Structure 1
Amino acid sequence: MYTKHFGLHKLPFENVPDPLFFFDEGDYHQVRSRVDNSLAAGRGLIIVTGPIGSGKTTLSQMIKADFSKDIKLIWMAEPPGSSNDLLLFLVQELGLKPASQERVFVLRDIREALLKITSQGGRCLMIIDESHLMTDDMLNGIRLLNNLEEGSTKLIQVLLLGQEEILEKINRPEMEPFKQRIASLEIIGQMDSERVKQYVTHRIHVAGGEPSLLTDTGWEAVRIAFQAGGTPRTINSLMDRTFLVAHEREKKEIDAQDVYEATQRLGLKTDVFHYIVSLKSRERDQRSHAAESNESVMSPEREGTDTHQEPPKPLRAEAAVHQEAPRPVYEKITDAGQKGLKVPIILLIIAIIAFILSFSLYCNRTNSPDLFSCILDLLGL
């Protein structure tokens, strides 16, 4: 891969939840802090929502690390199909063997197990990812677990991670009992272009690189690509492909052309193309201006190299060199007369030929013995 080419210790833009690369800034820092405080206070049900690829799973990994010493973690990559399946999964995770499968007895056994954990100074945290896929029955099961408490302390903390669709589910009138039990609702938004630059810089630093791996035009192209906002997953995909493009071209620095090529390969619709066009237009203008400047500088130098050189002649004098000297007026008149006589001479020749032919025809018809007799006969003598 391109790590060695760019002097990196590891790949900086892999799309896997890695706490080492966690970007603890902006929304992520605020959400992490508020969730940690809610869990520490034992407030119960917490929901974190955001667009796909916004880093919710990585955030949950950091939260889990914050409470790793005294917490019983129950992790679900996706929600089960029903509330009964949820309770059975929880029973297995707690190592219980309920005497009955009836919900009331299962909830009783779960409560006793959670009380035991709490009495030993521990806590239980259940994290459910992809919670926007939950059915109404599943949400009701979460509500029942949230009701398990001892005094003012919730016996189990529930953290739901999901896309924005979960907000549509819980905002319905029939979900009001569930909504009232939410202790904290956090929303992760997209990063703006400035935050994107900080995010990319952070990941390059963690991987052992420097921001100077991107040129000024490279950074500007990244800003333009995410001027409408970006999520970690999309940013990682584009930057990983950008580094790969530059590596294929054996370049040590990443510029706007590499970013544009990466957007094309990923099928991303951005305004980077227009930026590339403006850069090329600017380069052409600069080259043209430089050429004009060089010509203006070199011209006086060439004129000053020969001290005996005559001063430049006026433009009219130079033009006169290439014209013929004016001829006398009588020559022009003669030429005009010669051109005017060409047509009458031709007509005269044609008339003479016609006369000779007519005269010859007349002599033949009169049977004149000779030319002289024919002329006399023609004149009537």
Structure 2
Amino acid sequence: MYHEHYGLVRSPFEMTPDPAFLYLGDAHREGLATLVYGVRARKGFVLLTGEVGTGKTTLLHALLSQLDRETLSAFIFNPKLEPLDFFRMMFDEFGIERECKSKAEYLLTLNHFLIERLEHDLATLLIVDEAQNLSAEMLEEIRLLSNLETPSSKLIQIMLVGQPELWEMLSRPELRQLRQRIVLRHRLCPFDARECADYVEERLRLAGYTGKGLFKKKALEEIHRATGGIPRLINIVCDGALLLGFGRDLQILGPDAVREVAADLELAPDSDAANAATDSEEPTRSESKQGGLRSWLRSRHTGRV
């Protein structure tokens, strides 16, 4: 919608985890190194946690792009499954075509499959996303998969990915055996102010922007304040600010535009935007435009667009 206005060749703040727009802050770079090491060194269980929107899925896509082609991975993103359905989905992801009717059949088939891969020195990775939604029963089933091993090596590498409450779940006494098997753990943190500014400017550059400072320095500071440095929220706020600027024929965006968008998303009190309007560098919007933009931004925030 606003590409031509800003001289962009593509949208800089889409919600999909596009590897072409990968930006790694310090915590993300450390996290990626931890994940890659865990798989290549065949450490067994690895845990990745982070708040909603901090970039866990993006990091997983970056991990998969760094692994060699022979590493076979299964990505389970809907863990609210019964054990047999979980095994069926895992077999489908691994390309194991044999029909199994019981858990015992699944485990025997999987064990044979993994041993064959190990004989050819091939790594096998199981990633379970949104693992905080797993039941205690399903977590125990996944723990039992780690029993598939030889005296010298784990047959399968397992990566549990989820929100911080996943670690709290693993603190339960009945899950202590699983907790003790986690060899590597990393928690993703939001961007600090510097990383937030670098993230915004890097995504604009990758989208084809060749100007200088589309967002003013104060606007970048306001983006970090409003979003807490969470990448998903940064994308939503920046996308909304670009749309607002397009609607008002602005080439440079100041902090007032960011405050206005953040207020519409209820990321900041409406009073912030109202108070800032007294020294605003942008024209005041009409009531009809205000309602339309607010509805559009909120639909983006809730994923209804």
TM range (shorter): 0.7 to 0.9
Name whichever of 246-255 and 157-166 sits farther off: 157-166
For 1:272 and 1:200, locate their aligned partners in 2 and report how far apart those are by CA, in whole Å. Answer: 22
What residue number does 2:251 align with? Answer: 252
Q: Please report how far the alpha carbon of residue 274 of structure 1 lies from its aligned counterpart in structure 2 after TM superposition.
A: 7.8
SS at match of 1:175: helix
For 1:252 and 1:22, locate their aligned partners in 2 and report how far apart those are by CA, in whole Å. Answer: 25
For residue 146 of structure 2, what is the amino acid of its counterpart? Answer: N
Residue 162 and residue 211 in structure 1: after superposition, are their counterparts in 2 closer, same or farther (change >3 A)?
Answer: farther
Residue 256 and residue 151 in structure 1: after superposition, are their counterparts in 2 closer, same or farther (change >3 A)?
Answer: same
What residue number does 1:263 align with? Answer: 262
For 1:141 and 1:180, locate their aligned partners in 2 and report how far apart those are by CA, in whole Å. Answer: 15
Does the CA-based 8 Å contact 1:201-1:211 persist in structure 2?
no
For 2:224 and 2:163, locate their aligned partners in 1 and report how far apart those are by CA, in whole Å. Answer: 25
For 2:197 and 2:134, locate their aligned partners in 1 and report how far apart those are by CA, in whole Å. Answer: 35
For 2:185 and 2:232, locate their aligned partners in 1 and report how far apart those are by CA, in whole Å. Answer: 22
Deviations 1:139-181 (A, max 9, x none): 0111111111123321111112111121121011111011011
For residue 65 of structure 2, what is the amino acid of its counterpart? Answer: A
Q: Which has the higher contact order (CA 8 A, sep 6+)?
A: 2
What residue number does 1:131 align with? Answer: 131
Residue 129 and residue 211 in structure 1: after superposition, are their counterparts in 2 closer, same or farther (change >3 A)?
Answer: farther
What residue number does 1:186 align with? Answer: 186
Deviations 1:324-352 (A, max 9, x none): xxxxxxxxxxxxxxxxxxxxxxxxxxxxx
Does the CA-based 8 Å contact 1:70-1:121 persist in structure 2?
no
For residue 195 of structure 2, what is the amino acid of its counterpart? Answer: R
For 2:57 and 2:275, locate their aligned partners in 1 and report how far apart those are by CA, in whole Å. Answer: 34
SS at match of 1:235: helix
For 2:212 and 2:37, locate their aligned partners in 1 and report how far apart those are by CA, in whole Å. Answer: 34
Larger Rg belongs to: 1
For 1:86 and 1:27, locate their aligned partners in 2 and report how far apart those are by CA, in whole Å. Answer: 31
SS at match of 2:115: helix
Residue 68 and residue 18 in structure 1: after superposition, are their counterparts in 2 closer, same or farther (change >3 A)?
Answer: farther
Residue 114 and residue 207 in structure 1: after superposition, are their counterparts in 2 closer, same or farther (change >3 A)?
Answer: same
Q: Please report how far the alpha carbon of residue 206 of structure 1 lies from its aligned counterpart in structure 2 after TM superposition.
A: 1.3
Residue 216 and residue 53 in structure 1: after superposition, are their counterparts in 2 closer, same or farther (change >3 A)?
Answer: closer
Q: Please report how far the alpha carbon of residue 218 of structure 1 lies from its aligned counterpart in structure 2 after TM superposition.
A: 2.4
**CA RMSD, Structure 1 to Structure 2 (Å):** 2.1
For 2:214 and 2:5, locate their aligned partners in 1 and report how far apart those are by CA, in whole Å. Answer: 11
For 2:194 and 2:5, locate their aligned partners in 1 and report how far apart those are by CA, in whole Å. Answer: 27
For 2:60 and 2:212, locate their aligned partners in 1 and report how far apart those are by CA, in whole Å. Answer: 28
What residue number does 2:46 align with? Answer: 46
Does the CA-based 8 Å contact 2:129-2:162 persist in structure 1?
yes
Does the CA-based 8 Å contact 1:13-1:203 persist in structure 2?
yes
Does the CA-based 8 Å contact 1:44-1:182 persist in structure 2?
yes
Q: Please report how far the alpha carbon of residue 96 of structure 1 lies from its aligned counterpart in structure 2 after TM superposition.
A: 4.2
1:215 aligns with 2:216: yes
Unaligned runs of 5+ in 1: 281-381
For residue 221 of structure 1, what is the amino acid of its counterpart? Answer: E
Does the CA-based 8 Å contact 1:96-1:109 persist in structure 2?
no
For residue 225 of structure 1, what is the amino acid of its counterpart? Answer: A
Does the CA-based 8 Å contact 1:131-1:162 persist in structure 2?
yes
Unaligned runs of 5+ in 2: 281-305
Which structure shows the higher helix fraction?
A: 1
Pairing 1:1-381 to 2, within 5 Å after superposition: 1-92=1-92, 93-97=94-98, 101-209=101-209, 210=211, 212-226=213-227, 229-269=228-268, 272-273=272-273, 276=276, 279=279
Residue 220 and residue 188 in structure 1: after superposition, are their counterparts in 2 closer, same or farther (change >3 A)?
Answer: closer
For residue 256 of structure 1, what is the amino acid of its counterpart? Answer: P
Report the count of equivalent residues: 277
Q: Please report how far the alpha carbon of residue 29 of structure 1 lies from its aligned counterpart in structure 2 after TM superposition.
A: 0.3
Deviations 1:112-149 (A, max 9, x none): 10111122232111111111100011101111111111
For 2:49 and 2:224, locate their aligned partners in 1 and report how far apart those are by CA, in whole Å. Answer: 25
For 1:239 and 1:193, locate their aligned partners in 2 and report how far apart those are by CA, in whole Å. Answer: 15
For residue 71 of structure 2, what is the amino acid of its counterpart? Answer: I
Q: Please report how far the alpha carbon of residue 276 of structure 1 lies from its aligned counterpart in structure 2 after TM superposition.
A: 2.3
Residue 75 and residue 261 in structure 1: after superposition, are their counterparts in 2 closer, same or farther (change >3 A)?
Answer: same
Does the CA-based 8 Å contact 2:190-2:229 persist in structure 1?
yes
Q: Please report how far the alpha carbon of residue 88 of structure 1 lies from its aligned counterpart in structure 2 after TM superposition.
A: 3.1
For residue 205 of structure 1, what is the amino acid of its counterpart? Answer: R
Q: Please report how far the alpha carbon of residue 211 of structure 1 lies from its aligned counterpart in structure 2 after TM superposition.
A: 5.1
Q: Please report how far the alpha carbon of residue 223 of structure 1 lies from its aligned counterpart in structure 2 after TM superposition.
A: 4.0
Identity in percent: 28
Does the CA-based 8 Å contact 2:84-2:102 persist in structure 1?
no
Give the TM-score normalised by the residue count of structure 1.
Answer: 0.68
Does the CA-based 8 Å contact 1:83-1:140 persist in structure 2?
no
For residue 11 of structure 2, what is the amino acid of its counterpart? Answer: L
Does the CA-based 8 Å contact 2:14-2:235 persist in structure 1?
yes
Does the CA-based 8 Å contact 1:215-1:253 persist in structure 2?
yes
Residue 211 and residue 23 in structure 1: after superposition, are their counterparts in 2 closer, same or farther (change >3 A)?
Answer: farther
Q: Please report how far the alpha carbon of residue 106 of structure 1 lies from its aligned counterpart in structure 2 after TM superposition.
A: 2.5
